[in-house]
Amino acid sequence: MQSNERAVMRVLNGEKLERPPIWMMRQAGRYLPEYRAERAKSPNFLDFCYNTDLATEVTLQPIRRYGFDAAILFSDIFVVPDALGYPVRFEEGRGPVLEPLSNEVVGRLDQAKVEGHLEPVIATVKRLRAELPDETTLLGFCGAPWTVACYSVAGHTTQDQTAARIGSYSDPALLQAFIDELVEASISYLVNQIDAGADALQIFDTWAGVLDDIGFKLWCLEPTRKVVAGVKALRPDAKIIGFPKASSSRLELYVRETGVDAVGLDWTVPAEVAQKIQQIVPVQGNMDPMRLVAGGTALEEGIDYCLDIFSKGPHIFNLGHGVVPQTSPEHVAQMVKRVKGL
């Protein structure tokens, strides 16, 4: 193993480090005052994501402030349906709003437009690799097809994604047609990120945990497997982290069926399950983000617990989901210092 290889990549290659590398999901975000200052320059969120200067700057901000071991591209999972021609917008206080899924909408999707539409994002990846410190891993990402599709069935998020689940039962052919489009576009998008300089990739499946066993296999496992296989067919050395939130009892199945190289664990995954998975692939996680909000002893206990239970195998320290806006930047500094043993 090369001693100068980036720490996160060493873990993804199966190495156990004395101190795990650290980064946070959503580490470039609203908890940072410098992020909020940049965000104010572009009221439209999708325009913000497509602005290479702004997206590069906010991706670099937490690296400058905290020295995280990885930077994750600042973008959004909805750039993929947007690139396909699926109508999507963001509303303040509500989040993504999409035209409800229909055969007419799916019929208008155009794979030929995807690469050109996402050129500004790929330009951001190239800029980031050029400007990041050599030792910092650059992560690209996409949303898992199921999670992206969840917001499309009703046109917005619903409690426990009831609309998407009902839609998957009542019109599975329609959902499958949309999922197939997302799989194809996601493969192209991720390969282009690798070619632009991303060291590794993450697939976010935030809503994997709402599915029953049949749905999990059909809508989570199979589309993710196709994305992973599609990327690796073109870029065999690509390292891919899967994050199927709220899927504790299915994690081993997820790892074995999808072909991911590592798996992110949410904060509800029990230690015995996490340690079993760690014997199969490197793991990432899994401190409760609310401990980071609380700070103090609660934060220190959560950090020490994760460092202890994952100490016998390859581990990337991370939260069990994204950092939330009310988090104190000082608490993040406290976490980084403790994880790094400073």
One-letter identity of residue 35: Y
pLDDT value for 19 = 96
Cα dihedral: 200, 283, 279, 187 (round 10): -40
pLDDT of residue 4: 60
The pLDDT value recorded for residue 154 is: 79
Confidence (pTM)? 0.96
| CA distances, 70 to each of 27, 129, 138 (Å) | 10, 11, 6
Catalytic residues: 26, 30, 39, 76, 151
- Strands, E assignment, the chain: 70-72, 88-91, 95-98, 137-143, 200-205, 239-244, 262-264, 283-287, 315-319
Q: Is 42 exposed, middle or buried (0-12, 13-18, 19+ CB in 10 A)?
A: middle
Cis ω before 103 (30° cut-off from 0)? no
Q: Let me know: does 208 contact 245? Beta carbons within 8 Å.
A: yes
Task: Note the pLDDT of residue 342.
Answer: 78
- For residue 3, the model assigns a pLDDT of 45
Q: Are the C-beta atoms of residues 203 and 224 closer than 8 Å to each other?
A: yes
- Percent helix, strand, coil in the chain, to 5, is 55, 15, 30
Residue-range domains of the chain with CATH: 17-266 (3.20.20.210)
- Each residue's pLDDT, cut to its tens digit, for the chain (342 residues) gives 344 689 999 999 999 999 999 999 999 999 999 999 999 999 899 999 999 999 999 999 999 999 999 999 999 999 999 999 998 988 877 778 888 999 999 999 999 999 999 999 999 999 999 999 999 999 999 999 999 999 988 777 777 899 999 999 999 999 999 999 999 999 999 999 999 999 999 999 999 999 999 999 999 999 999 999 999 999 999 999 999 999 999 999 999 999 999 999 999 999 999 999 999 999 999 999 999 999 999 999 999 999 999 999 999 999 999 999 999 999 999 999 999 997
d(C-alpha 301, C-alpha 304), whole Å:
5
Cβ 323 vs Cβ 26: under 8 Å: yes
**How high is the pLDDT of residue 2?**
41
Pairing relationship of beta strands 95-98 and 88-91 according to DSSP bridges: antiparallel
Of residues 245, 226, 26, 200, the one with CA closest to residue 145: 226
Residues 92-102 as b or e (16 or more Cβ within 10 Å = b):
eeeebbbeebe
